[in-house]
Chains A and B, each alone.
Chain A
Amino acid sequence: MKQYILGRVVRSIISIFAVVSIACALIYGLIPHEKIFNNDPTWKKIASDPVASITYKYQKWEDLGYVDFQNAGDICKLAGDDVDYNKCVRGTTDAFELVKAEWEAKGYTVMYKDDGTAYVKQGIDFYEEQPSLCKLTETGANYDECVKTRNSDLEKAVSSYIEDGYVLNYYNTGTLYAVRENTVPEIIFGYISNLVKIDTPWTVNDASNPNLERKIYPGLDHNNIPALKCSGCESQYLLYLDGKFPFIHQNIIKLNFGISYPTYSGLGTMDVIGQGQGDPVKNEVHYDTGLTAKSAVNLHSCKYKSSSTMSSDDAKKFATNYADCDTNKKDPSMIGTSYLFGILGIIVSYGIGLPAGILMAQKKDKWQDKLGIVYINVMIATPSLAFIFFMKMLGNKIGLPDKFPSLGFGSIKSYILPVIILGLLSTAGLMIWMRRYMVDQANSDYVKFARAKGLSQKEIFNRHILKNAIIPIVNGIPASIVLCISGAVITESVFAIPGMGKMLPDAINAANNNMIITLTFIFTSLSVISLLLGDLLMTLVDPRIQLSSKGDSR
């Protein structure tokens, strides 16, 4: 049994990674990298500026792991002591600098092509490239030196980059940058190897704070509740307790799916779907400096802030460098929202579907059964969008809001329509299956024998049929519960519910690649987990099923 579960878990993890890798391969391999800028407002503003747009583009791509991008500054800084930093950053040879000064003195502007060669252009008639510029000079500069695009210092600095397959390019100011495109397998490998982040006291690397202590220690949080704290970790609290489900929280192991871009730009994808939404909620807060203020800060979430960026305001509140904190928001996160609706919907659908299916089976061919069949047929035949709008119309008549945000999370009225709709949408299927399983069982031989034993119809029903018929239903329950996190696309968008449902289509539209992969990962994992849970649950209710890797039955 244990062995079987272990085997299943290992196989599940492998299959999750397989799915994620396939998704990565499709996204990185097939979607042109330029496409991610289509929805970026910043890009629209700077696209016409040749220097800024190039830097922005490559930096974004580097953030997303698509390329390695190095500008001349970085390259020259890392080059070592035998390279003159200033000359290296300038890049041009002394000979060319002389020539350039001469031309500029004459009133010309020297520009550069992306291979780094200089040119001078004036009007329509005058155009000279670097070799002619060097030839036409009166400074006596060495021609061979002058036509070079890189001086010896820069040449030394970039040699290792050239070896590593970087492509050297130049801004139109003549400054060099080096780019190496990562291959699809490299991107996927990079993505997966960064997936799990473990926070240790050696995580923080802050040159401006060399005396940072590195330790994990038990302590009290701002509410005087015990917590496991850390100095030198990224997060101040490794373990802490609070009043929110699941009450004990950890910051030690984090899944890192990269940053969201271009929508929700800059946030981690998990934070986008996992953090609270809506207006900040201010509370009386006691900072560890003794300061008390009304603030929405979430002190449990504080992360390390480099000494160089600590403001005097921060120093007033925080005794340590852990000053980079989230804010408490009024409304639940996207996941939380979808989950809330999903669970309520499941309660409605099982609460109605199972008893209705059972009743139909008990009253087979009577009016109750016939009515149920009519209901099932109507529900199946009606497109769900039509059903949703119909229900919405009915709801409006009795004064229920037709958009969730109009009354928001605070009012019960906002939930009624979406929950009933979500619930009813899946009743038809449940009723069909429940009825079918019940009727199947009722026609089985053991029920006939139970009757011959003299048991009454009611006893047979309660002791035998019901349990047997519910077994296959039980298998599907974890899946319904776990997968409602993924959100109900149509219902959520009709009611403008801030849940997960719209995330995947939105992410695809905006080419928010990391978000797509994050969601793929989450949905795949949840499906796999819920299948496993369903099977484990089956072993509890069905004695015939024993989980074992081989034939041994006990």
Chain B
Amino acid sequence: MEDKKVVLSARDIEVKFQVRSRVLTAIRNISLDIYDGETVAIVGESGSGKSVFTKTFTGMLETNGTISNGSVMFEGQDLTKLKTDKDWEGIRGAKISTVFQDPMTSLNPVRTIGYQIAEVIMKHQGKSAQEAKEMAIKLMEEVGIPNAASRYDEYPFQYSGGMRQRIVIAIALACRPKILICDEPTTALDVTIQAQILEFIKSLLKEYGFTTVYITHDLCVVANVADKVAVMYAGQIVEYGTVEEVFYEPKHPYTWALLSSLPQLGTKGEDLYAITGTPPSLYDQIIGDAFAPRNPYAMQIDFEEEPPFFQITPTHKAKTWLLDPRAPKVEPPKAIQNLHERLSAMVSKGGGYHG
């Protein structure tokens, strides 16, 4: 994997929002390399900054937000330097596409499906209306819309939720992007359709070979689709590694907490592990480890100094003082030991998204 090419490299990203007269720091010094063809999952509780972080790749921060530090290198240029719609032309929606949470509302209700696909083809590939229509119909066929040609002029309300999500994905892939960001793309769909859509993205992945950034809080999805996992907490990545490493040898106590709160893992009679307390306020300056107040294993130093990343394997690193050689040896909670067997047992029971 090391010989793979880095397609996007975020360095020391810091994002601040102006909220009335106060400043909120949503992202605090994140660095992340995304390799070509990989699927990276970003997990973490809601509000941890997953969406904001990926919005910096497409310049989609709301107007009150700024990237106050860092760089995002993509094809030799620093995306943080791009400001106007014109600067972004050819990148946003063309080379880096995003699919959002709710397929029911991602399409304009009063424009035809065809119009909304053709629009993006004409915009980025400079095709004529007729060519764009042909390409759009082909794309609709590729994403599995039956009678694509006759449904070209239909409106979103005439499509089912699953079909709409396929259309949204078709639009996102219309220009064969390098990177597809899926921001919780299935949460609004019911479970069976979610599974179909995931399978669908997976199959497209093989065919198109794009790189995927997958934002979700559903760890089963992660186990199913991702190569790498980044765990986010309070605007930082706290653990990063391959799926196997993060799931079966998690090192950060927050990852432990996340994993053990999986409802699917609850064995009968055992209480579900719930993370206590609330995340820190992003308005305040955070001293030490942001997770310390909620961390049952916190040490004195966690409240005083921010931990560095400790490299565990070449692909696995975590940001916790527990990995310091001086720290006492701590076992992960019982609930997530032998997660391997339990997770695979669960998946093979047919409950998950097994292909």
Contact = CB atoms under 8 A, between A and B. Distances in A.
A459 B115 CA distance: 13
Nearest to A453: B93
Interface in A459-483: 459, 463-464, 467-468, 471
B106 A464 contact: no
Given A457-B85, A544-B157, A452 B92 contact: yes
Contact of B105 (A446, A452, A456, A459): A446
A544 B120 contact: no
B123 A544 contact: no
B106 A446 contact: yes
A449 interface: yes
Contacts of B102: 445
A62 B171 CA distance: 75
A455 to B, nearest CB: 6
A541 B90 CA distance: 32
B157 A453 contact: no
A453 B172 CA distance: 7
A451 interface: yes
Interface in B71-113: 85-86, 88-94, 97-102, 105-112
Given A449-B168, A454-B124, A468 B93 contact: no
A544 B155 contact: yes
B109 A453 contact: no
Interface in A105-156: none
Contacts of B119: 453, 455, 463
A230 B109 CA distance: 56
A444 interface: yes
Contacts of B157: 543-544
Contact of A471 (B85, B92, B110): B110
Contacts of B94: 454
A463 B119 CA distance: 10
B108 A468 contact: yes
Nearest to A465: B108
Between A455, A471, A541, the greatest number of chain B beta carbons within 10 A of the residue's beta carbon is seen for: A455
B255 to A, nearest CB: 30
Nearest to A454: B93
B108 A450 contact: yes
Interface in A481-529: none
Given A454-B123, A454-B124, A444 B105 contact: yes
B42 to A, nearest CB: 17
A467 B115 CA distance: 14
A133 B124 CA distance: 115
A446 B171 CA distance: 12
B345 interface: no
A316 interface: no
A446 B91 CA distance: 19
A449 B155 contact: no
A387 to B, nearest CB: 35
Interface string B121-156: 001100000000000000000000000000000010
B110 A452 contact: no
Interface string B155-175: 101000000000010011000
B120 A454 contact: yes
B60 interface: yes
Chain B: interface size category? 20 to 34
Interface string A392-420: 00000000000000000000000000000
B111 A451 contact: no
B106 A542 contact: no
A452 B97 contact: yes
A468 B157 CA distance: 15
A462 to B, nearest CB: 11
A527 B195 CA distance: 52
B58 interface: yes
B314 to A, nearest CB: 34
A222 B46 CA distance: 84
Nearest to A455: B123
B329 to A, nearest CB: 46
A448 B100 contact: yes
A453 B118 CA distance: 11
Interface in B176-233: none
Given A452-B58, A453-B171, A446 B108 contact: yes
Contacts of A451: 60, 92
Given A453-B119, A454-B120, A445 B109 contact: no
B100 A449 contact: yes
Contact of A445 (B88, B90, B100, B111): B100
A544 B109 contact: yes
A468 B109 CA distance: 8
A449 B107 contact: yes
A467 B85 contact: no
A464 B111 contact: yes
B109 A455 contact: no
Nearest to A471: B110
Contacts of B124: 454
Given A448-B100, A454-B88, A454-B94, A467 B110 contact: yes
Nearest to B59: A451
B198 to A, nearest CB: 20
Contacts of B171: 449, 453
A543 B115 CA distance: 14
A455 B155 contact: no
A452 B93 contact: yes
B120 to A, nearest CB: 5
A459 B112 CA distance: 16
Contact of B123 (A445, A457, A459, A543): A459
A544 B110 contact: yes
A303 B308 CA distance: 103
A215 B119 CA distance: 65
B10 to A, nearest CB: 18
Given A446-B107, A446-B108, A467-B110, A452 B60 contact: yes
A456 B60 contact: no
A459 B89 CA distance: 12
A457 B59 CA distance: 13
A452 B175 CA distance: 12
A454 B109 contact: no
A424 to B, nearest CB: 31
Contacts of A446: 105-109
Contacts of A444: 105
A542 to B, nearest CB: 6
Contacts of A453: 92-93, 97, 119-120, 123, 171-172
B168 to A, nearest CB: 7
Nearest to A467: B110
Contacts of A452: 58, 60, 92-93, 97-100, 172
A444 B60 CA distance: 14
Contacts of B98: 449, 452
Interface string A10-48: 000000000000000000000000000000000000000
Contacts of B172: 452-453
A319 B112 CA distance: 66
A543 B92 contact: no
A464 B108 contact: yes
Nearest to A447: B108
Given A452-B92, A454-B89, A455-B119, A543 B155 contact: yes
21 contacts: A445-B101, A446-B106, A448-B106, A449-B107, A449-B171, A451-B60, A451-B92, A452-B60, A453-B93, A453-B120, A454-B88, A455-B93, A455-B119, A456-B86, A456-B89, A463-B119, A467-B110, A542-B110, A543-B110, A544-B155, A544-B157
Of all A-B residue pairs in the complex, the 7 with the closest CB atoms, nearest first, are A454-B93, A456-B85, A445-B105, A452-B98, A453-B93, A449-B106, A454-B92
Given A456-B85, A463-B111, 20 more contacts: A445-B105, A446-B105, A446-B109, A451-B92, A452-B60, A452-B100, A452-B172, A453-B123, A454-B88, A454-B90, A454-B124, A455-B119, A455-B120, A458-B85, A464-B108, A464-B111, A468-B109, A542-B110, A543-B155, A544-B110
Interface of B: 58, 60, 85-86, 88-94, 97-102, 105-112, 119-120, 123-124, 155, 157, 168, 171-172
